[in-house]
Amino acid sequence: MSARIRDRLSGIAPWSGLIGAGMGFALHHQVLSDALHFDCNDTAGGAGIVTGLVALIVVFGGGLVSWRALPAADATSPAATLPRFIGHMSVMAALLATLGIALLMLAGAILPGCRP
């Protein structure tokens, strides 16, 4: 990987948790809501759990990249303040999306797809 591409990607790295959280939660929500809209039995066979696991992988990957992009704890320069804030915010967004996806997976595992 060239230095130019690496520099561009390093600017996106602190934001990746926020991007991954939005993408993972949207993926999970849209796939399941479309499946339930067209046939409420589509999610009964464990498709909701599999979709949730894929979404959790996307969110976890983004959060991990943001965590690794955090500046060192001893970096006290003003230039490290904004990337530190963005990295922490992105990791927290990934954790919040993980909680939301986990609760939706739990509801999908407990509740039936169609009303009796």
**Whole-angstrom Cα distance, residue 82 to residue 14?**
10
Query: So what's the pLDDT on residue 116?
Result: 59
Query: So what's the pLDDT on residue 75?
Result: 65
Query: So what's the pLDDT on residue 79?
Result: 72
> 56: closest CA among 20, 88, 14, 106?
20
SS3 content of the chain, % helix, strand, coil (to 5): 80, 0, 20
**Whole-angstrom Cα distance, residue 109 to residue 81?**
42
End-to-end CA distance of the chain: 56
Domain layout of the chain by residue ranges: 13-110
- For 56, residues 6+ apart whose C-beta sits below 8 A from its C-beta are 24, 98, 101, 102
What is the pTM (predicted TM-score) of this model? Answer: 0.83
> Tens-digit pLDDT profile for the chain (116 aa)?
677 777 777 778 889 999 999 999 999 989 888 887 777 776 666 778 889 999 999 999 999 999 988 877 766 777 778 888 898 999 999 999 999 999 988 888 887 667 65
Max intra-chain CA distance, the chain: 61
Query: What angle, 0 to 180 degrees and rounded to 10, lies between the N-to-C axes of helices 81-110 and 47-68?
Result: 170
Query: So what's the pLDDT on residue 40?
Result: 73
